[in-house]
Amino acid sequence: MPKMTMIEALRDAMDVKLAQDPKVLVFGEDVGYFGGVFRCTAGLQAKHGEERVFDTPINESAIVGMAVGMAAQGMRPCVEVQFADYVYPAYDQITQEAARLRHRSNEVFTCPLVVRMPTGGGIFGGQTHSQSPEALFTHVAGLKVVIPSTPYDAKGLLIAAIEDPDPVVFLEPKRLYNGPFYGDHSGKSVGWAQHPAGEVPEGHYTVDIGKADIRRAGSDVTILAYGTMVYVAEAAVEQSGIDAEIIDLRSLLPLDLETIKASVEKTGRCVVVHEATRTSGFGGELIAEVQEACFWHLKSPLQRVTGWDAPYPHATEWDYFPGPDRVARALKKTMED
Amino acid sequence: MPKMTMIEALRDAMDVKLAQDPKVLVFGEDVGYFGGVFRCTAGLQAKHGEERVFDTPINESAIVGMAVGMAAQGMRPCVEVQFADYVYPAYDQITQEAARLRHRSNEVFTCPLVVRMPTGGGIFGGQTHSQSPEALFTHVAGLKVVIPSTPYDAKGLLIAAIEDPDPVVFLEPKRLYNGPFYGDHSGKSVGWAQHPAGEVPEGHYTVDIGKADIRRAGSDVTILAYGTMVYVAEAAVEQSGIDAEIIDLRSLLPLDLETIKASVEKTGRCVVVHEATRTSGFGGELIAEVQEACFWHLKSPLQRVTGWDAPYPHATEWDYFPGPDRVARALKKTMED
Amino acid sequence: MTQKPKLTFPQPPARPDEAPDFSSIDIPPAGALDVPPLDLQASDSRDYANGMIRVLNDEGDAVGPWADYIADLDPDALLQGLRDMLTMRAVDQRLLNAQRQGKTSFYLLCTGEEAIGCGFQRQLDQGDMNFPTYRQQSLLIAADYPLRDLMGQIYSNECDPLEGRQLPIMHSSRDYGFFSISGNLGTQYVQAVGWAMANALSNNGQIAAGWIGDGATASNDFHAALLSASVYRPPVILNIVNNQWAISTYTGVATGGSRTYASRARGYGIPALRVDGNDYLAVAAVSKWAVERARAGHGPVAIEWFTYRVAAHSTSDDPSAYRPKDEASAWPLGDPVERLKAHLIQIGLWSEERHVQAQAEILDHVTTVQKDVESYGTFVNPKPTSPSTIFKGVYAEMPDHLRRQRQEMGF
Amino acid sequence: MTQKPKLTFPQPPARPDEAPDFSSIDIPPAGALDVPPLDLQASDSRDYANGMIRVLNDEGDAVGPWADYIADLDPDALLQGLRDMLTMRAVDQRLLNAQRQGKTSFYLLCTGEEAIGCGFQRQLDQGDMNFPTYRQQSLLIAADYPLRDLMGQIYSNECDPLEGRQLPIMHSSRDYGFFSISGNLGTQYVQAVGWAMANALSNNGQIAAGWIGDGATASNDFHAALLSASVYRPPVILNIVNNQWAISTYTGVATGGSRTYASRARGYGIPALRVDGNDYLAVAAVSKWAVERARAGHGPVAIEWFTYRVAAHSTSDDPSAYRPKDEASAWPLGDPVERLKAHLIQIGLWSEERHVQAQAEILDHVTTVQKDVESYGTFVNPKPTSPSTIFKGVYAEMPDHLRRQRQEMGF
Ligand SMILES: Cc1ncc(C[n+]2csc(CCOP(=O)(O)OP(=O)(O)O)c2C)c(N)n1
Ligand SMILES: Cc1ncc(C[n+]2csc(CCOP(=O)(O)OP(=O)(O)O)c2C)c(N)n1
Ligand SMILES: [Mg+2]
Ligand SMILES: [Mg+2]
């Protein structure tokens, strides 16, 4: 099987769909001729033509607003927002328009579109290139919210998202574009070629939206993570020696509560990890659901390890980023409680 | 003491501050000459002049963006967004600009502004006049988020918000503008003149941002609520006969965790009620905090009673609105568990 | 002439305690402007953007090049136009009454603006799509949308195609070229551009039309729409209904220093025209021209329809608090129904008697449908739609958490 | 000429494998445009918005009415302008090198655009406020901002006034009239309008200046800013730096069918001018005029500065992937430093020798400060700011939950 980085896997997903379905369109800022600032769409315009893959003005509301109109008229737009930090001008179109169009029209108009955006920190991007805004989308009925942590999932989920009849917010952990990242403060990571999940089948396949992945079986405690934090959790498990079960949620909305429940009922303990600010982050939702579903199995309080409730800093990035040390500490605490 | 509706109390707060501090400005759509579609600013332009109270074009991003610039230059803008459902075009300016200006400039530029907005349903307004977007603001470091449930608190909190050195999102439960609302499906409510909290002192006073209010002492279960849901909770307690302690949070960010903790440690049970959609609503955050702080005191799973994860409907509003029946059911369930 | 910087606050011509005053509004004579070529460029559209295309003069004659442009419109089409407007007015009146009687929660009239939607819609083809605001019910009337569906939506009962989900007036009908209305102002405008882009990409020969109010031109998506239309040049007509008011706010607060909304659009490199929106013939003529232009591949065009919001903003509004009560009657462009009627009488196609009779027939028809629809339930006599519609169509397939919530609700 | 609707996709004049081609750019002769009255109206600004104000001709002479307008500029001011630009270029080069050596995470040059910020800033007074983008470091240089602070920000060390919070280049200095930069494009533009409104309301005699790139004119807040400036008319100068590129995207994708960005602003009823941004004298003259105008209470004005982004977008970018490598050298407006230098030599104020000497002195000075600042730590040799700065200044008073988090962090 070919090895791909996450960038290549995402590009391949779009390539497959562009070739397969003339209704699929790809556009965004710098997405066309140049192929995107992260090169996710490199070569796609040359291959599929400017009518299918094109550059847009710097107006995220226009990008998504056009996509809503196109999607309602039968297209399958897959648009890029250059950084998740710049999605806010499009927040109205995504949450008030795309999300509710099917419902408000009694299913006569629908909105099958994908909004891709690089998310998360770890690249010294400061407060406007590091944000993790997933909770701002999981609160919105009508949206789906997914976030892959491997090239394999990235391609399979993106194809599934493009084929989905409803709008999907597709978060790409940019720190994982070129390789898994375990939270090493040197910032270094090995490439995907060295990782089994870097093996990506050619052609068409999908990964179901709404299904979590048990990344590591374990019996002491359940770790709920997604995106970059899946690897940080792996590092923390190694560091702490605690036999944790790591669940990569992959899809935040809808959530695979069954898989989570089965795990926490088994372990009786649960640590939630995300990079976004803590207050009202998606971790709150996870804890609320888990305690309700598994209350009588719980042996200790559910823990959250998250970004601090402050803007994402530049120089002190590693003090903000919830790294393996903090996760390991939470694991120990939950075992002691 | 004079009796005031919540509308009058809010107006009085702005009037007091406009008179007291020449830096205070009030503006928004239809806010000036006409005095706002809910009449919250009626008479203020005539009294304080058009330079202090004025109409704006229909552009929420411009309203808040101008306010950010004014606030940084020493003004104290208190702006109105006509409905919370229309705040999204301003979401970028509120969350990326106002919220972070103090931090990103190392406290050289600051942003003391208030964004008022009517929130919540119960007025047959359909999906774009009924939303409760509080959780979209509580996730943002640098913001304060408050929501009064009485005329007394409305005035005191609004004055505190205008005087606050940081940006405050001020949510006004529009269903409470004219009187407390206990969830009666006839939609009727008695006026504030009949309610003790309708007594509002003249002149200047403040209610501290960050302090919850115990609205009813009780020993069986703690109900965490805010805005309209405070009254729904009262009705549910009456209906169920369960001796619940009702806490009106008043301030969601910062949160008065101490008051909450003391109560739940006492009761061992907790039901959270809000009107916003359930998934990733502020209830998730509350439950996550409460279970962490009070885990060893909990006698049953924490419950959420919320709006459904669907757009706010028009005709079937009362089936969406989390009314006393649903809250009473949750109270019973938590007592049985 | 140096002065201290001082802010300006645009003012309406008159407030409640004053006499209506439209003296500062410049009304060019009918027939003054040419019909430009279909491939009109923005740079050549200055006079159209700053002037006003008018066909019917004060005497009720159709004059000038735009009159010639639609000279081939057959008499039935003109009569149909009048009937459309009369129907619209009857429907508005009946539904306003229903709201006053508590039979529905909300309503909103388009009185005075009927010519715009009615005249425009009749120039469209099946498959073309409007992206309307809440004040373009006239598009539905002229599309022969079943009154039963239209009224059903207002009563949120079994006849409502939207099953009670949406606030009254938030219609939606794909078959009748009427995109689902959003309460959030402006958003539809850029969606119209996207839809038109999809049309061009699929080569289906269809066009799209965006609609926006003068007040909502201030919204960000007005800019997003003009900009993207200017860049990609899809077959879209960008309509601006300038009815002088945005709830209580005078149009000057949205115009600022721009000469006209059309001229603002022209700044984006989009050819723009300004039209007497109370002149059915001008509306029909310019709409026909714009539709032809868009369909022929000459790119976007913007049209400012100049009119007056005769009614309150909605049933929640009382305009006497912010403008003179008699301002509507002072409106210099008159009433669109009266003007078309006068013209039809003038050319011998119509008479006072036939008018009275037509009004009665239309009212009768509207009332009959209304009674029937009301028999399916109203706000005072509810037979509500099932609460489970709340969960229907949030997603194509209902996810588990919604299924659990529906069960919790009891369904 | 009927055709099928087909989308257009604006194209740059040349791609990497092609020869640079600016033949479609119309460069009017220097001196062609008048100096308008300070109370210029939008309607009278057409020629200024579509033309281009230029002072320095190809021979290095200052010609025409705008040259006369700043004839009283003393020789020191001209020499200062040259020194400002040379300093800017030296700082940019040194910091680019530092980034290449891994001493900082990110940098971004303004090469080719130095005249704009340098020439503008020198016309402002203490108390006036710029709302810049990330490419207006030249404003700081010409405001005599301490190089130590400027470089400290780049190294995120103890010398950084922002204590490492922000990405390098996101400067902030109230005292030097430089508003805290946001990474979110466009937002500052409407804030500038609000700040200027506060100025007018407090009657403090100060003005504000918004800055935006050609690409970012597409953002919603560009519209929000023009609209609100047009409505309230505060003392604000709305600058548009058209450097032909937005990362890899040609300016045509933001212009669409608009003739110029200035003409788009004119559509909002704001008088607008287009200026040769590589001509220090034109910049100084038009800035002086605009500042005087704003301060005198004539309301907002928009200025499009026409220039070319010679450098890569940032250290993360390689422009050879999307435009000809030698495009900069083909840019018809030349290099601002060279042009001013030539003029100064021409009028006998300067010589090649003095130039070389000045360059060396400046580089020396910049390098000395840089070394000193680097001694406080760099990315390869970090002495990081305390992590507890993360929690400092999120709010004026630290709330309990942040105190708990800071403790959890260990502080
Ligand atoms: C984003 C947004 N902001 C505010 C509102 C509230 N609102 C509804 S209608 C209206 C006035 C619109 O005026 P105009 O565009 O002129 O349309 P008209 O009512 O005159 O047809 C306002 C402010 C809204 N619906 N959406
Ligand atoms: C809202 C937003 N969208 C996208 C970006 C990413 N971005 C940063 S700079 C840039 C290009 C800006 O080009 P232009 O305005 O012409 O300024 P220049 O770099 O040429 O000075 C883009 C797209 C951003 N910072 N903010
Ligand atoms: Mg209007
Ligand atoms: Mg640029």
Same domain? For A159 and A89 the reply is yes
pLDDT, average across residues A243-249: 98
Mean pLDDT of chain D, nearest integer:
97
Distances (CA, A) of D228 to B61, B76, C311, D41: 11, 18, 28, 17
Say whether B61 and D220 touch across the interface (CB within 8 A): yes
Domain containing residue C283: CATH number: 3.40.50.970
The answer to whether position A21 is within a domain reads: yes
Same domain? For A50 and A186 the reply is yes
* Mutation target among D6, D184, D204, D301 for the C interface, most CBs of C within 10 A: D6
β pairing state of B76-80 and B24-28: parallel
Range of the domain at A269: 213-336
Name the DSSP class of D44: G
Report the chain B residue with the minimal C-alpha distance to residue A285. B284
Instruction: Give one DSSP letter per residue of C178-217, joined into a string.
Output: BPPP-SSTTHHHHHHHHHHHHHHHHT----EEEEEETGGG
Residue type, B133: P
Same domain? For A99 and A195 the reply is yes
- Give the sign of the dihedral formed by CA D185, CA C270, CA C256, CA D240: positive
CA–centroid distance, residue C7 to ligand 4 (Å)? 31
Residue type, D377: G
CA–centroid distance, residue A19 to ligand 1 (Å)? 43
List the chains bordering chain D where 3 or more Cβ pairs fall under 8 Å: A, B, C
Which residue's CA lies nearest to atom 8 of ligand 2?
Answer: D185
Residue C253 in contact with partner chain B when CB distance is under 8 A: yes
Place of tokens 């939206």: A209
Identify whether the C-beta of residue B243 lies closer than 8 Å to the C-beta of residue B234. no
CA–centroid distance, residue D244 to ligand 4 (Å)? 5
Same domain? For B151 and B12 the reply is yes
On chain C, the residues whose CB falls within 8 A of the CB of B29 are 246-247, 249
DSSP lists the bridge partners of residue A239 as none
Identify whether the C-beta of residue B71 lies closer than 8 Å to the C-beta of residue B78. no
Distances (CA, A) of C249 to B28, D34, D226: 11, 39, 19
The answer to whether position D282 is within a domain reads: yes
The answer to whether position B259 is within a domain reads: yes
Nearest in space to C195 (alpha carbons), one of B17, A77, D91, D68? A77
The answer to whether position A208 is within a domain reads: no
Residue B5: CB within 6 Å of ligand 1? Answer: no
Determine the distance in angstroms separating the CA of B202 from the nearest CA of chain A, rounded to an integer. Answer: 36
Determine the distance in angstroms separating the CA of D130 from the nearest CA of chain A, rounded to an integer. Answer: 21
pLDDT of residue A223: 98
Among the candidates B145, B177, B199, a domain finishes at B199
List the chains bordering chain A where 3 or more Cβ pairs fall under 8 Å: B, C, D
Same domain? For A111 and A74 the reply is yes
The answer to whether position A207 is within a domain reads: no
Q: How far apart are CA A286 and CA A272, in angstroms?
A: 8
Q: How many CA atoms lie within 13 A of D124 on its CB side?
A: 27
On chain C, the residues whose CB falls within 8 A of the CB of A105 are 162, 172, 174, 180
Determine the distance in angstroms separating the CA of C368 from the nearest CA of chain B, rounded to an integer. Answer: 24
On chain D, the residues whose CB falls within 8 A of the CB of C255 are 269
The count of domains in chain C is 1
**pLDDT by residue, tens only, chain B of 337 residues:** 899 999 999 999 999 999 999 999 999 999 999 999 999 999 999 999 999 999 999 999 999 999 999 999 999 999 999 999 999 999 999 999 999 999 999 999 999 999 999 999 999 999 999 999 999 999 999 999 999 999 999 999 999 999 999 999 999 999 999 999 999 988 788 899 999 999 999 999 999 999 999 999 999 999 999 999 999 999 999 999 999 999 999 999 999 999 999 999 999 999 999 999 999 999 999 999 999 999 999 999 999 999 999 999 999 999 999 999 999 999 999 999 8
Residue A57 in contact with partner chain D when CB distance is under 8 A: yes
Same domain? For A121 and A154 the reply is yes
pLDDT of residue D385: 76
Same domain? For B193 and B240 the reply is no
Q: How far apart are CA D79 and CA D190, in angstroms?
A: 34
Residue D300: CB within 6 Å of ligand 2? Answer: no
ipTM comes to 0.98
Among the candidates A199, A225, A256, a domain finishes at A199
Residue C162 in contact with partner chain A when CB distance is under 8 A: yes
Same domain? For A183 and A243 the reply is no
pLDDT of residue B102: 98
The answer to whether position D4 is within a domain reads: no
The answer to whether position C20 is within a domain reads: no
Q: How far is CA A61 from the centre of its chain?
A: 21
Size of interface B-C (CB pairs under 8 A): 122
The answer to whether position C408 is within a domain reads: no
pLDDT, average across residues A97-123: 98
Write the pLDDT tens digit of every residue in D251-278.
999 999 999 999 999 999 999 999 999 9
Q: How far apart are CA A190 and CA A183, in angstroms?
A: 12
pLDDT band at A131; cut points 50, 70, 90: very high
Residues around ligand 3, an ion, CB closer than 5 A: C 213-215, 243, 246
Phi, then psi, of A100 in degrees rounded to 5 = -110, 0
Residue of higher predicted confidence among D175 and B189: D175
Say whether C187 and A255 touch across the interface (CB within 8 A): no
- The residue count for chain A: 337
Write the pLDDT tens digit of every residue in A280-299.
999 999 999 999 999 999 99
| Probe target for ligand 2 pocket from D131, D133, D185, with the most ligand atoms within 8 Å of CB | D185
Say whether D174 and B210 touch across the interface (CB within 8 A): no
Same domain? For A129 and A223 the reply is no
β pairing state of A76-80 and A24-28: parallel
pLDDT, average across residues A60-72: 98
Residue D218: CB within 6 Å of ligand 2? Answer: no
pLDDT of residue B186: 85
b/e sequence B127-141, b meaning 16+ C-beta within 10 Å: bbbbbbbbbbbbbbb
Phi, then psi, of A115 in degrees rounded to 5 = -115, 105
Same domain? For A166 and A289 the reply is no
Name the helix (H) or strand (E) containing D276.
strand D272-276
Determine the distance in angstroms separating the CA of B73 from the nearest CA of chain D, rounded to an integer. Answer: 6
Beta strands in chain A (DSSP E): 24-28, 53-55, 76-80, 114-119, 144-146, 168-173, 213-216, 221-225, 244-248, 251-253, 270-277, 303-307
* Mutation target among B129, B139, B264, B320 for the A interface, most CBs of A within 10 A: B139
H-state helical runs in D109-219: 114-121, 137-142, 147-155, 187-202
Token couple for B81 = 């967004």
The answer to whether position D15 is within a domain reads: no
Radius of gyration over alpha carbons of chain C, in Å?
22
Same domain? For A143 and A19 the reply is yes
pLDDT band at D164; cut points 50, 70, 90: very high
The answer to whether position D118 is within a domain reads: yes
Instruction: Say whether A297 is catalytic.
Output: no
The count of domains in chain B is 2
On chain D, the residues whose CB falls within 8 A of the CB of B113 are none
Is the whole-model pTM more than 0.95? Answer: yes
Q: Which of C162, C163, C195 sits opposite A73 (nearest CB)?
A: C195
Residues around ligand 4, an ion, CB closer than 5 A: D 213-215, 243, 246
Instruction: Give one DSSP letter per residue of B149-216, joined into a string.
Output: SSHHHHHHHHHHHHH-SS-EEEEEEGGGSSS-----TT-----GGGSGGGB--SS-----TT--EEEE
* H and E: helices and strands count for chain C: 15, 7
Size of interface A-D (CB pairs under 8 A): 122
Which residues, 6 or more positions from C36, have their beta carbon under 8 angstroms from its beta carbon?
A: C44, C45, C48, C271
Write the pLDDT tens digit of every residue in A210-221.
999 999 999 999
β pairing state of B144-146 and B303-307: unpaired
CA–centroid distance, residue D195 to ligand 1 (Å)? 26
CA–centroid distance, residue A41 to ligand 3 (Å)? 43
Same domain? For A179 and A227 the reply is no
Write the pLDDT tens digit of every residue in D41-58.
999 999 999 999 999 999
Domain containing residue B133: CATH number: 3.40.50.970
Listed as ranges, residues in chain C with pLDDT below 50 are: 1
Q: How far apart are CA C205 and CA B185, in angstroms?
A: 50
Helix axes D147-155, D75-100, angle to 10 degrees: 20
pLDDT of residue A101: 98
Q: How far apart are CA D380 and CA D378, in angstroms?
A: 5
Say whether A316 and D316 touch across the interface (CB within 8 A): no
Q: How far apart are CA D228 and CA C188, in angstroms?
A: 22
Determine the distance in angstroms separating the CA of C235 from the nearest CA of chain B, rounded to an integer. Answer: 27
CA–centroid distance, residue C249 to ligand 1 (Å)? 10
Q: How far apart are CA C52 and CA C106, in angstroms?
A: 34
SS (H, E, C) C222-247: HHHHHHHHHHHCCCEEEEEEECCEEC
Which residue's CA lies nearest to atom 20 of ligand 1?
Answer: C246
pLDDT of residue C386: 85
The answer to whether position C34 is within a domain reads: no
Which residues, 6 or more positions from B210, have their beta carbon under 8 angstroms from its beta carbon?
A: B144, B251, B254, B255, B256, D399
Domain containing residue A240: CATH number: 3.40.50.920
Range of the domain at D298: 42-314+327-380
The answer to whether position D161 is within a domain reads: yes
- Range in A158-167, C172-181, C314-323, D376-385 with the lowest mean pLDDT: D376-385
Among the candidates A167, A199, A231, a domain finishes at A199
| Probe target for ligand 1 pocket from C247, C255, C307, C314, with the most ligand atoms within 8 Å of CB | C247
Q: How far apart are CA D285 and CA D303, in angstroms?
A: 12
Token couple for A74 = 């039968």
Residue C80 in contact with partner chain B when CB distance is under 8 A: no
